Amino acid sequence: MFDKLRIPFFCASIVCLIIVFAIEVSAQFFLGDSKGKGDLSAPGLGIIYLAWLDWLLLFSILLMGVALIVPDRIHGRIQGIITFIVALLTLLGAIVAIFTAFGLLMLMVSLLLAVPIGTAIYFAEFADFKVGAAAATLTLIMIFKGAFVIFLVLAHQRFLQNKGLVLLIATSFVATILLGFLHAIAPPFLAYITDDIGALISAILAAIWALFFLIGSIPAVIKALRVDRALKS
């Protein structure tokens, strides 16, 4: 496949995906409140949590890119091990993220329903979600995700035959679109709650994909260990 790969387009696709990931992980800073609290609740968790999914997508593409510069013999041996480690760490991180989002969701719902004091606290802390800024950020993310797909297809059409990659890309797009829908469908004072629901969904999807990566890497890890033992003997 890589003998016919159009490397400039492939590199452009990687750059687009890196930009997407950078926007998502830095959303806390440019979507935070004007008082500069710096806490995760300021911009919400939705956009930040998209990075869990897109990190796995970026890792997959980078792993393909490594094959361009690393000999097949070495790449075949280290790919499974690296995938196993990355998938395990991502799975653990996604699980922590799930509990964090769920805890915040329970807190907000409890405050909203605890009339009158809890409701007052909720409106003081969570009624000023920046829907417009979040929508603009998600639009920018979608533009670069679209550019990523276009460049990837231009790099080599056979990427479309990789069902796992296509499903992961589709999951990333669906999570982004769903988050934008959840932001738009709710009244502004409930946007923090719907945003957190979107974050929870993204984290769960990331955990599922990380588990899929983890299970899929086990045969390659076992094979690599067997090869190492055979070489030592």
DSSP 159: G
- Asked if the peptide bond before residue 8 counts as cis, ω within 30 degrees of 0, the response is no
Residue with tokens 């080599």: 156
Question: DSSP characters for 116-135?
Answer: THHHHHHHHHHS---HHHHH
Residue with tokens 């998209």: 50
pLDDT tens digits for the chain (233 residues)? 555 788 899 999 999 999 999 999 987 665 654 443 444 444 589 999 999 999 999 999 998 888 777 666 666 677 888 999 999 999 999 999 999 999 999 999 999 999 899 999 999 888 888 888 899 999 999 999 999 999 999 998 888 888 999 999 999 999 999 999 999 998 989 999 999 999 999 999 999 999 999 998 888 778 766 655 544 54
CA 105 – CA 110 distance, rounded (Å): 8
Q: Residue-wise over 2-30: b if at least 16 C-beta within 10 A, else e?
A: eeebeeebbebbbebbbbbbebbbebbee
Q: Which amino acid is at 120?
A: A
Show the tokens assigned to 200. Answer: 């929870």
Q: Where are the alpha helices (DSSP H) in the chain?
A: 7-25, 27-30, 46-66, 72-113, 117-126, 131-155, 163-185, 191-232
How many CB atoms are closer than 10 A to CB 204?
Answer: 19
Residue with tokens 């934008």: 180
Contact 2, 68 (CB under 8 A): yes
The closest of 22, 43, 20, 18 to 31, measured between CA atoms, is: 43
CA 176 – CA 24 distance, rounded (Å): 11
- ∠ CA 107-110-30 to the nearest 5 degrees? 40
